[in-house]
Amino acid sequence: MEALKIASILLLYGVFSAALPTSSKPTFNWTDTQSLITFGDSYTYVQGIDGYANSTFIGSRLDFAFNASELLSNRIVQNQTATAEGGPNWVEYLTGCALKPGLTAPITCRPQLWDFAFGGSDISEQYTPLHHNWTVSFVNQIKQFSDYAQPVLSKFLNPREALIGVWIGINDIGDSDKYNITKPNFPGFPSFYNTIQTTEYAAVQQLHDRFGYRNFVFFTLPPLDRTPGNVASSAPNPNATMVGWYNSGLASHTAAFAAANPDSNVMLFDAHAVLGRILDAPAGYGIRNTTGYCPEYNAPDILTDPEKYGCLPQEEYFWFNTGHLTSHVHRILAGELEEFLVGQGK
């Protein structure tokens, strides 16, 4: 019965088995990419009808397993609260998937969008505690994907024509100060960042070794020292030095990952630099406020009547709330990312 359900869904969308990967390095071409598969935190997750509310596309730590029918029949939700941005985020803008309000099947998008990020995630609860008892850490996102999604997606997605997107660490850098600095043997931030990033890249290595994925893009952290709270604070957490340490570590680990996997296309997108340029010259992007946000960002009519709450239109803010970007900024970021990805294929 399960096999029949899978076959029915695949036939419905005209999807057929992909060729098995070979051992040579694939040529990366974003315009020919068949699927985007993502992992991360609230900057990356999309809401699914079978996901935990305001957290994920499918499942949670309390409901970890899913079957093929549940994955393939799930839908991305697009509404005001279906991301952490008040609208579509970078994965949706990049793929053009689920931009319209309502429900979208990932399998109908070109490229397909399979998002396993979870809002509030850190890399591993080995280093920092879960934000909630339902949160799926990054390493467990990889496990969940490996155990339950990959066996399904492998029937019709060629790993050599997929792009793995990883944006994680936004919660880790804040939580590392909160939970580790008081420990007697805390090694210092650069060393700690190296430890958790080693765990991150080891988890991603499984996607290469076990399943044959060969295209990877990692992201530097945003300028988190410039969030509304940090701009107003005399002791920002994280501060610019900490963000610099973290991003330097990401560059080193990405380079090491590329060297260890010469059969793969390994890319590091400097989201920090792109977002910093927007903050430094916001008027060119139609943004008027870079240091605050609308306190009523979740009001049901905030998009249509912001003046009711004494606010600017949402697209004129850089920050959606205390720590997230607006959907407008995500759209700009996705455009820069697409240009970067296209350039990688030349």
Section 16-37 average pLDDT: 74
Section 60-71 average pLDDT: 98
Interval 275-298: pLDDT, tens: 999 999 999 999 999 999 999 999
How do strand 35-40 and strand 162-167 relate by DSSP bridges? Answer: parallel
Domains: count for the chain: 1
| Bridge partners, 120 (sequence order) | none
Q: What is the pLDDT of residue 1?
A: 47
User: Residue 22: inside a domain, yes or no?
Assistant: no
Section 140-145 average pLDDT: 98
Q: What is the pLDDT of residue 180?
A: 62
CATH number, domain of 271, equals 3.40.50.1110
**Host domain of residue 185:** 33-344
- Which helix (DSSP H) or strand (DSSP E) does residue 113 occupy? strand 112-115
CB 253 within 8 A of CB 282: no
User: Residue 26: inside a domain, yes or no?
Assistant: no
Section 233-257 average pLDDT: 96
pLDDT averaged over every residue in the chain: 93
Q: What is the pLDDT of residue 22?
A: 46
Q: What is the pLDDT of residue 187?
A: 81
Return the closest-CA partner of residue 330 out of 249, 274, 273.
Answer: 274
Q: What is the pLDDT of residue 24?
A: 74
Residue 181 has what DSSP assignment?
A: T
Query: What percent of the chain has pLDDT above 70?
Result: 91
Structure tokens at 77: 């939700």
* Start-to-end Cα distance in the chain: 46
Return the closest-CA partner of residue 196 out of 259, 132, 121, 267.
Answer: 121
Section 38-48 average pLDDT: 98
User: Residue 180: inside a domain, yes or no?
Assistant: yes
CB 297 within 8 A of CB 83: no
Q: What is the pLDDT of residue 142?
A: 98
Using DSSP, state whether 78 is helix, strand or coil.
strand
Q: Per DSSP, which regions of 149-222 are E strands?
A: 162-167, 215-219
Section 72-80 average pLDDT: 97
User: Residue 2: inside a domain, yes or no?
Assistant: no
Q: How confident is the model at residue 181 (pLDDT cuts 50, 70, 90)?
A: low
User: Residue 1: inside a domain, yes or no?
Assistant: no
| Bridge partners, 115 (sequence order) | 38
Structure tokens at 210: 């076990």
CB 329 within 8 A of CB 277: no
Q: How confident is the model at residue 16 (pLDDT cuts 50, 70, 90)?
A: very low
Q: CA angle 333-99-161, nearest 5°?
A: 70
| Bridge partners, 272 (sequence order) | none
Query: What percent of the chain has pLDDT above 90?
Result: 87
Say which residue, 343 or 8, is predicted with more confidence.
Answer: 343
Residue 17 has what DSSP assignment?
A: P
Q: What is the pLDDT of residue 176?
A: 84
**Amino acid letter, 42:** S
Contacts of 21 (CB under 8 A, 6+ apart): 158, 159, 160, 212, 214
Q: What is the pLDDT of residue 18?
A: 39
User: Residue 15: inside a domain, yes or no?
Assistant: no
Q: What is the pLDDT of residue 10?
A: 47
User: Residue 12: inside a domain, yes or no?
Assistant: no
